[in-house]
Amino acid sequence: MRKFVYTILMLLVLAMGVGAGTLIGYHFNDAADAVTAKQLSKAKQSISKLQSTNQQASASISSLKDASSFASSVTAANSTQPTLSNTELAMAAYLDINGTTPAANLQRFGAGSTLNLKTQSDGTIAIDSGTAASTVIFQFNGDTINEGPDPTFTTPGSIQPTSVSVSAINKRYAAYQPQLDAIIDSASDDDASN
């Protein structure tokens, strides 16, 4: 009998151990499932954030491509304008001193006007309207045209030294190059060149 009780006790202990192990296993699996679900949820959130960031980056890249395309078209449009020579730039700057629009200035000083143009040995260009007091000297320095009265004339009158941008004058007058050349041809001395 003792053996029998002992065997039953052993079977009970064994059954309890298996049951407890099974319970522990179930709880462990539940805990592991909960951790996995939490990690999966975080991973999904991270993927969602990355997709949103990717969409924003794609939109930014698209905007940059559009801006680059626009800049290229503006550059191409600007590069189709001819670049004026120094003589043409000086004449355009002279016409611009007291004028309004390029068309109005060109009409006011059309070909056959009494303008005189001389290219000096130092590269400066002198333009006047028939009197020494009206002489303006143009000196080129990179993208700047320096304008001023003739320094040899003792009383320069109302001509004040100033500077203008080569780029600005070129943009305003490049489309009028033939009219500028006609004025230059009628105003130039024999040894001036365009």
If asked whether residues 139 and 96 sit together in one domain, one would say yes
C-alpha Rg value of the chain to the nearest Å: 44
Together in a domain, 70 and 119: no
Number of domains in the chain: 2
Question: Does residue 63 fall inside a structural domain?
Answer: yes
Strands 144-149 and 125-128: unpaired
Local confidence band at 79 (pLDDT 50, 70, 90 cut-offs): low
User: Which domain CATH number covers 144?
Assistant: 3.30.1460.60
Half-sphere exposure of 45 (CA within 13 A, CB side): 6
Average pLDDT over residues 152-175: 80
pLDDT value of residue 138: 92
- 100 or 15: which carries more pLDDT confidence? 100
User: CB within 8 A of 183, min separation 6: which ones?
Assistant: 91, 95, 106, 109, 110, 111, 113, 115
Mean pLDDT computed over every residue of the chain: 76
Rounded to whole angstroms, the Cα distance separating 19 from 3 reads 24
Q: Is residue 98 located within the same domain as residue 164?
A: yes
Q: Are residues 99 and 176 part of one domain?
A: yes
Domain stops at, among 45, 80, 115: 80
Residue ranges making up the domain that contains 41: 1-80
Listed residues 80, 111, 136: the one ending a domain? 80
What is the value of pTM for the model shown? 0.53
Residue 193: inside a domain: no
- Mean pLDDT across the stretch 117-133? 85
Nearest 10 degrees: Cα torsion 16, 18, 22, 24: 60
Quickly state the pLDDT bin for 191 (edges 50, 70, 90): very low
**Burial tier of 13 (Cβ tally within 10 Å: 0-12, 13-18, 19+):** exposed
pLDDT at residue 190 in the model: 47
Q: Is residue 156 a contact partner of residue 164, using CB atoms and an 8 Å limit?
A: no
Q: Mean pLDDT, to the nearest integer, of 17-24?
A: 55
Across 31-45, 119-133, 174-188, least confident range: 31-45
Residues 93, 135 within the same domain? yes
